[in-house]
Structure 1
């Protein structure tokens, strides 16, 4: 007896709420044969074509079983064989489409599905995330490659990338999109298969191994997720059944000229079920710990320069967070000033856990590119982010977007001599780690990659043969260790009780000082010199006590010259401290 999907599930997928599409759609091995199920309501005819029938349209026709749904059973089909849907549209259009629910796809321009029998994985390790969230952002295809230029497998990455991340002190890794995409140059943001982990690095089992190994090392795995738009390539979702199915019927709403892609139509119930079901699938099937929702601003404000929020996008985002909040961490990459992104749904917010602080990132990098005089004139770029720092729960990103498209690497953004560039890069890292907000750094920034990121090559690992680069890496490692060790740097990020200015308006010396305070009232002191000049015997007003230096960014072990204060500093009502050019330090008071 053939096993058919429940009609109530099919109707709920089309008209209501049904997130379990991965369990019924696509190719499933049932009773010694593969069952195929697809939703294509405006198709006239559909057949499954593949290697077993020499890609012959009509050889294995699909039968309509409910309005818009087509199903068939093929005993000849075998695991590992390639397949597609051959669809005849209502106006006679002939299209060859990749299965939207394919669990495995051969990457490339044609992107055929690969018949795959899902296997249970022996999950064991779990990871517990606290407030000390420190994320290493990675593009798997260009982190490292084999000698011949081939991609590393998921298992090879598990035994090379993950030990590296653990050694540097990161407790989370964020992967640029790794669901299937045909073109390397899209970095994964233009996708052909939402339910298929890219086969560039292996099969689904291999990726599960990668996630398990990450968890075993105490590293959470976050995925970059792209629900805004999809590729226009012929095998993809665009005009899937010969007409608009995942996009709007209206071209001006469907087409996205910014990325030459198609926008999802969030007003359609099956689109919401497809996407939210996709997140649930990635969480349950692969054990991921969080996702970054890409291009939230573009979703909320579909028209360029529009101030009007797209109602369907807003409803979709709220539905998404209502379903996933508390199960995985939800990050919003939102460059707009829309309020309440991380506010709970019950309070009228969007319900995300964290919002990327794009304003902080833009202001910070703009400031670091300036000469000393310009910095004095734009001191507010350092201080203004604190005006809105607690309006949302923020993550401070130094991401991939800032080191591509002729923007240069983090190191190359810095002015001055070779030595001054490295000093400023260390200072940038210290500034990021000392400010309220969770942390994210894109690969290469941790050792001072000179060239901007190129997705077709690999990082310049030979730079670690030079002490300046090795010093930056050592500094980032020590920053992470201190960040995790000192609650004042991470556990009171969301209100003014965790932050206090000491010196905020020193525009002449390009200097700021502040305290970070933990939930028990213990504090650390942050001193940052953004100028090209030494600060000798610089007065900083502090409470009485003996202060020790926890970290000095000009330390010789970091590639600096060992200048500034390192020993204990006595204060009755102030300390006199030395800071090297482009350097900073973290102090704490010694208690009896």
Structure 2
């Protein structure tokens, strides 16, 4: 009926399909020589479904939908136009009326309003063919990846209050990310959500780009602009749970539809939300369709799945002594990773904080099939070390060295994300102990450690210029800090780190094998110092020396060698708000040893001298 294949309806409920967005929701079609809008919704236990909208003065009875096979309701109405607001009015088995937004809506009213809007996604002419072709040819594991994580609602605001539009982000965000040398941008959830305080992680419209910043074609233009600048786009994705808002997915047809029928399985105590039930095929197909939709319609380059630990464990974080796995969710993640992993150049990433085996292992190896996993252990250990005063650090040296014990157990991303700069945790620079200059020196040291440690890189917005205030979703970043030398030079430092990282194969290749890493000085807790070598697949090598002490290291014997070494990076340079201490230029061996100096809270990167470098 109305061009909907019966095979799709059966597959959506009982089988496998990623084409939900092609049929469900509001679509313009030509039917019986009339152009109009076809509505299709899945509500198997509803008695009746009507469309209430701008077109019928929000009547709850005029535009009725017809029940068809498998629990779907469909209708075709020539009078509907693009931009019309609508809701489904669902009459339940008990006679109650539920006014619901369309789960497959492509656009929505701006909060606090919450109706869906008819929107035609077709017609945008993309300009990123070359970018996509190049991305499809790359080995993502052997390419540099530094990610700028951004919350669009608080990156900048007009007069500190009003949201920027997608086109304004094109003018300002895209050049900013490109200037700093990032390879990718990760955008915190941009599909529709009712509550700003959830940061987008409690969604009601998975197919609807939020109207806070414009319409879906505005978001297409933004992605296109990033691609033209050579920057990949990753979206945060929330297949774990959803809010209980009355207009959303909760008990959609009067009974459990997207959640489990058992409250103890449905309720998520951590966020006061409802868990998706992946024992239901239509829930799996909802997300298979959603992932395909975001890729196909918006050309995104990757997805970061949020709260994976809460998906794959029942009651995760509730102090159970033994892990109880959610096998249905595990199977779904393997399914979606198989689907999206077949798209050339597309990346699937997981925020997963447990010790579950094989998050980024192949499904054939018993893994979940993600390309990358956030290394929460590295982040926690590193920050718990960096926040300590000098007299405490010697006893905590293993927090810096232990992450290498499991560095090759997964394909990792090293995140300094939004979660670390909220809820009284303080900003990254404000976590650093010591006097003002020492705080900035240690911030530079932290970033240098991150960029030279095996794993891809991620930094949350504001970290690039050392914002002091904790992040808030309700206000802009403090861009006026760039009027101050320390913050402007921190921005320069991050730019230089990205440029160096992208230019040195030693820092981004061979990240799954010990061939890419060698300890030089690992257990020097007394001096709070460590040194290691990174080796690239092209035969290149770099030595990294990191001094986590407040004392300057002078005439430190590093390695036996008869080679000259060039200092290619020193975090204490004055252009970075340092004091130009420590080794610089070409270092010649003395008595068969490489002797170096390292400033307090600083690091060096050394490379064997190349011909003509002096």
TM norm. shorter chain > 0.5: yes
Give 1:110 shift.
4.0
Q: Deviations over 1:240-275 (max 9, x none)?
A: 001100000011111111111110000000000001
What is the CA–CA distance in structure 1 between the aligned matches of 2:258 and 2:75, rounded to whole Å?
A: 23
Give 1:54 shift.
0.9
Equivalent residue number for residue 236 of structure 1: 248
Residue 456 (structure 2) pairs with residue 444 (structure 1) = no
Give 1:63 shift.
0.6
What is the CA–CA distance in structure 2 between the aligned matches of 1:179 and 1:330, rounded to whole Å?
A: 18
What is the CA–CA distance in structure 1 between the aligned matches of 2:369 and 2:593, rounded to whole Å?
A: 43
Give 1:520 shift.
3.0
Q: Deviations over 1:352-390 (max 9, x none)?
A: 100000000000000000111211001000000000000
Q: Out of 305, 308, 311, which is 2:319 matched to?
A: 305
Give 1:584 shift.
0.3
Give 1:87 shift.
0.4
Residue 176 (structure 2) pairs with residue 164 (structure 1) = yes
Kept in 2: contact 1:292–1:333 (CA 8 A): yes
Give 1:542 shift.
4.1
Residue 581 (structure 2) pairs with residue 567 (structure 1) = no
Residue 404 (structure 2) pairs with residue 377 (structure 1) = no
Equivalent residue number for residue 39 of structure 2: 36
Kept in 1: contact 2:2–2:76 (CA 8 A): no
What is the CA–CA distance in structure 1 between the aligned matches of 2:363 and 2:411, rounded to whole Å?
A: 14
Residue 538 (structure 2) pairs with residue 525 (structure 1) = no
Q: After alignment, is 535-544 or 474-483 more displaced?
A: 535-544
Kept in 2: contact 1:238–1:247 (CA 8 A): yes
Q: Deviations over 1:553-578 (max 9, x none)?
A: 01000001111111211126422211
What is the CA–CA distance in structure 1 between the aligned matches of 2:291 and 2:551, rounded to whole Å?
A: 51
Residue 220 (structure 2) pairs with residue 221 (structure 1) = no
Equivalent residue number for residue 315 of structure 1: 331
- Unmatched tracts of structure 2, length 5 or more: none
Give 1:113 shift.
0.4
Equivalent residue number for residue 472 of structure 1: 490
Kept in 1: contact 2:160–2:476 (CA 8 A): no
Q: Out of 8, 33, 51, which is 1:48 matched to?
A: 51
What is the CA–CA distance in structure 1 between the aligned matches of 2:49 and 2:81, rounded to whole Å?
A: 20
Equivalent residue number for residue 207 of structure 1: 219
Counterparts of 1:59-98 in structure 2, within 5 Å, are: 59-98=62-101
What is the CA–CA distance in structure 1 between the aligned matches of 2:471 and 2:557, rounded to whole Å?
A: 41
Equivalent residue number for residue 137 of structure 1: 149
Residue 259 (structure 2) pairs with residue 260 (structure 1) = no
Q: Deviations over 1:289-314 (max 9, x none)?
A: 00100001010112133402111111
Kept in 2: contact 1:111–1:192 (CA 8 A): no
Give 1:544 shift.
2.2
What is the CA–CA distance in structure 2 between the aligned matches of 1:41 and 1:525, rounded to whole Å?
A: 63
- Unmatched tracts of structure 1, length 5 or more: none
Equivalent residue number for residue 197 of structure 1: 209
Q: After alignment, is 118-127 or 461-470 more displaced?
A: 118-127
Q: Deviations over 1:169-216 (max 9, x none)?
A: 001000000000111111100101000011111111111110111000
Q: Out of 109, 113, 117, which is 2:116 matched to?
A: 113
Q: Deviations over 1:199-243 (max 9, x none)?
A: 111111111110111000100000000000011000000000011
Q: Deviations over 1:268-289 (max 9, x none)?
A: 0000000111000000000000
What is the CA–CA distance in structure 1 between the aligned matches of 2:337 and 2:123, rounded to whole Å?
A: 27
Give 1:159 shift.
1.4
Kept in 2: contact 1:247–1:263 (CA 8 A): yes
Q: After alignment, is 101-110 or 229-238 more displaced?
A: 101-110
What is the CA–CA distance in structure 2 between the aligned matches of 1:96 and 1:591, rounded to whole Å?
A: 70
Equivalent residue number for residue 27 of structure 1: 26
Q: Deviations over 1:402-451 (max 9, x none)?
A: 00011000000000000100000000000000000000000001110000
Residue 11 (structure 2) pairs with residue 12 (structure 1) = yes
What is the CA–CA distance in structure 2 between the aligned matches of 1:109 and 1:164, rounded to whole Å?
A: 31
Q: Out of 580, 588, 600, which is 1:581 matched to?
A: 600
What is the CA–CA distance in structure 2 between the aligned matches of 1:108 and 1:153, rounded to whole Å?
A: 15
Q: Out of 153, 178, 182, which is 2:165 matched to?
A: 153
Kept in 2: contact 1:29–1:117 (CA 8 A): yes
Indicate the RMSD between aligned Cα atoms, in angstroms.
Answer: 1.1
What is the CA–CA distance in structure 2 between the aligned matches of 1:264 and 1:446, rounded to whole Å?
A: 36
Residue 444 (structure 2) pairs with residue 430 (structure 1) = no
Q: Deviations over 1:507-555 (max 9, x none)?
A: 1110000000011332001000001111111111143211111110010
How many aligned residue pairs are there? 591
SS at match of 1:557: helix
Kept in 2: contact 1:110–1:235 (CA 8 A): no
Equivalent residue number for residue 508 of structure 1: 526
Q: After alignment, is 104-113 or 514-523 more displaced?
A: 104-113
What is the CA–CA distance in structure 1 between the aligned matches of 2:247 and 2:13, rounded to whole Å?
A: 22
Structure-1-length-normalised TM-score = 0.98
What is the CA–CA distance in structure 2 between the aligned matches of 1:90 and 1:38, rounded to whole Å?
A: 17
